[in-house]
Structure 1
Amino acid sequence: MKTVLITGSNGLLGQKLLDKLKHSAEYKVIATSKGNDRYCESGYIYERLDVTNAEEVRAVINKYQPKHVIHTAALTNVDACEIDKEQCYQLNVKSVEYLIEACNPFNTHFIHLSTDFVFDGLNGPYKEAGIPNPLSYYGQTKLESEKLLQSSMLDAAILRTILVYGVIKDKARVNIVTWAKNALERGGEINVVNDQFRNPTLAEDLADACLLVLEKRARGVFHISGKDYMSIEEIVRAVADYWKLDASLINPISSEALNQAAKRPAKTGFVLDKARKELGYQPHSFHEGLLIVDDQLKKFKPDNSDGQ
């Protein structure tokens, strides 16, 4: 059996990967996160791992000598990255440096998650060959991590993605869909930007893309997202429409009026031709994604805290 090690296994993507890989006949799965295991099922091995601790990273990699690493752990709160740049740098850059160093002796295939925020949003939707120009510190750190991998000796695949949504078992985190649904159900007015455009990405689709890359031991940069290009306002209105919630509570505002700590690119979005052709990637539509989320919400009730 080939060993695959997942960082950030408590997160949304990490849990979706465990959904698909646990009890695998082909892969021995090592799930890692900083705290206790919050997925809490069988069919994999769990190791506590702080990816910002070089000694811990070296010890875990040496112990399992993985053929594949899927690095999902990161600080993805864009405003938090702008405010606490040291923590952002440690999680988004130094972790990659430590993992590369630890994986080098084992010829590990490295799958790294990156973001549309490496772009400035002036020329979206983007192909993989688009010229990065991040507007935020978060985007800068993710671009720096990409460059570390591209200059390494490892077989590395970089999967850039956009606005991932889905249902997480431990109720610990919200995303654009669960946030909008919860907020509208509470009946208060919500401010939603109308001048940012994205391809919202179902977490299961992103996990499937990781597995396609894993199976093919693919290398290079791949753009992975949903197929629908929408404004944030359109996304939230689609959520309201699907669950028959009061869309009059949605207050469209400009990004400038929202006054967030970090600047966001206006129009990103991805051209998916390369992922479709080279990987066989076939994402769901946003409506199909909401059907899947709705089905999962009947099993798991997400956290009701605010956040976008």
Structure 2
Amino acid sequence: MTPIILLFGATSILGFHIARRFPHALVPFTSPGNTSPTVQEWATLNLEDPEWVKKVFSQHQPDILLYCHAVCDVPKCEADPAWAYEVNVGHLNRVLSFLPETTRLVYVSSDHVFGGDGVYHEHAPPCPISVYGRTRVEAEQMVFRRPGSLVIRTGLAIGPSPNGRTGHLDWLRYRTQQNLPITIVEDEYRSTVWAEDLAVRVMSLATSPVTGIRHISATQAIS
């Protein structure tokens, strides 16, 4: 029997590629008012509205919730920690309040739960160095308290975005085309993953019986 899968955060880089790669396998959700032509046929959901969240779960009765929703703009999170915690922790807490007990939760997290040098395995203790990273760790802890859940920490997803301007690839292309200034971080190394490949790996794990934590990254880190 085909599982009913809901995808929250479908306009993230990874979420967009999951929705595009598996259009008939899940129901993608985006926030109200998103005008990108790519997402016009997707369902809408305001995660700040408890009744809306409750209605979505009641209507669909999902077997799996694939949660890719988060704000990942590190400088903005540093500038406004309250906003970062509301989106990355508060929204998830609201979802958990209404998520049916029988629904498997698959939460897509980030390598930002770690900081500093080194290679981190699944059993390494989190050591975030940013507000964004700390919101991710707190969200993960909420997920771990739910039996049967899975946290997938990924490297930096690289690939086209739904609006053609966000994500590292489109951001560079857009600002180059518009002759806008480009600021590049020089003191950071990340494990990058092509978003199309990452989408396939994440869906494979989401529909498997695997629980706990899994990391998906490249074999090398780049600056």
TM-score, with length taken from structure 1? 0.65
Determine the structure 2 residue equivalent to 1:238.
none
**C-alpha distance in structure 1 between counterparts of 2:17 and 2:53, whole Å:** 23
SS in 2 for 1:148: helix
Query: What CA distance in whole angstroms lies between the structure 2 residues aligned with 1:209 and 1:88?
Result: 27
3-state SS of paired residue (1:111): strand
Give the letter for the 2:221 counterpart: Y
**How far 1:128 sits from its partner (Å)?**
0.9
Cα distance change on mapping 1:194 and 1:64 into 2, 3 Å = same
The question of whether the paired residues in 2 share the 8 Å contact of 1:111 and 1:210 is answered with no
Q: 1:169 to 1:188 in 2, by over 3 A?
A: closer
After TM superposition, list the pairs within 5 Å mapping 1:274-289 onto structure 2: none
Map of 1:193 onto structure 2: 185
CA drift of 1:187 comes to: 7.1
Contact 1:8 1:71 survives alignment (8 Å): yes
Alpha-carbon shift at residue 91 of structure 1 (Å): 1.2
* Closer/same/farther in 2, CA of residues 193 and 68 from structure 1, 3 Å limit: same
- Give yes or no for contact 2:192–2:221 (8 Å, CA) kept in 1: yes
Structure 1 residue 36: Cα displacement:
4.3
Counterpart of 1:141 in structure 2 is 135
Structure 1 residue runs of 5 or longer lacking an equivalent are 232-308
Structure 1 residue identity aligned to 2:94: Y
CA distance in structure 2 between the aligned counterparts of 1:142 and 1:53, rounded to whole angstroms: 22
CA distance in 2, matches of 1:2, 1:186: 44
Q: What's the secondary structure of 1:92's corresponding residue?
A: helix
How many pairs are equivalent? Answer: 220
Alpha-carbon distance in structure 1 between the residues aligned to 2:165 and 2:59: 29
Alpha-carbon RMSD = 2.3
Identity rate of aligned residues, in percent?
25
1:50-129, aligned counterparts within 5 Å?
50-105=46-101, 107-122=102-117, 124-129=118-123
- Which is worse superposed, 32-41 or 48-57? 32-41
What residue number does 1:164 align with? 157
Residue 104 of structure 1: SS of its match in structure 2?
coil
Distance in 1 (CA, whole Å) between partners of 2:71 and 2:139 is 12
Normalised by the length of structure 2, the TM-score is 0.88
Deviation at 1:85, TM superposition (A): 1.8
Q: Which moved more, 1:162-171 or 1:29-38?
A: 29-38
Distance in 2 of aligned mates of 1:9 and 1:191: 27
Secondary structure in structure 1 of the residue aligned to 2:90: helix
Partner of 1:220: 212
Q: Are residues 59 and 17 of structure 1, via their aligned partners in 2, closer, same or farther at CA, if it must alter by over 3 Å?
A: same
